[in-house]
Structure 1
Amino acid sequence: MHTWPVQDAKARFSELLDACTVEGAQLITRRGEETAVLIPIAEWRRLVETARPSLKALLLSDVGRVDFDLPKRGAHRRRPPST
């Protein structure tokens, strides 16, 4: 992965973009500290797709998504039948 100082990335953005599409991810630094990464759109779409579970996976999972207490069955008294 090639590293670009932010001032070079700004000044040569088209070159940065071309390098990203040809070589892959490009790292951008600010004052020597890693700040951002420019990645090709195909890689971004792959990351987004794998990060989000499908509806089918959510419905079939055994992990609860809501915490609430259900009352115990038979804990409430029934009214006596009216005559």
Structure 2
Amino acid sequence: METWKLQDAKAKFSQLVESALKIGPQFVTRRGKKAVVVVSVAEYEKLRSQKKSFREFLLNCPKMDDAFEIERQKEYPRSLEL
């Protein structure tokens, strides 16, 4: 992944796009801080397809069966005199 200053990205936009297509995501900085990432449509669609809703996430979690048991701690807290 390459990092571009905003000024350079504007001046060499075609090269930025070409790099995003051939190499992969390209970071663009503004005032020295990462501001945006330029990615190909294929990469963007891949990332979007991986995103699941919270509902889907919960429905796809492993299910507990009847054999599932929680082991309780057998030690009791020490007694305190107040």
TM-score, normalisation: structure 1: 0.62
Q: Does 1:37 align with 2:75?
A: no
SS at match of 1:17: helix
- Report what 1:51 is aligned to: 51
State the percentage of identical aligned residues.
Answer: 38
Which structure 2 residue ranges, 5 or more long, are not aligned?
Answer: 61-82
- Structure 1 unpaired stretches of 5+: 63-83
RMSD between aligned alpha carbons? 2.3
Q: Which has the larger radius of gyration?
A: 1
1:31: how far off?
1.1
2:13 match: 13
Give 1:67-78 correspondences, 5 Å limit.
Answer: none
Letter in 2 for 1:32: G
What is the aligned length? Answer: 59
1:28 aligned residue: 28
Deviation of 1:43 after TM superposition, in Å, equals 0.9
CA shift at 1:16, angstroms? 0.3
- Mapped to 1, the partners of 2:47 and 2:19 lie a distance apart of 20
Q: Under a length normalisation based on structure 2, what TM-score does the superposition of the two structures give? A: 0.63
Stretches of 4+ aligned residues off by more than 6 angstroms? none
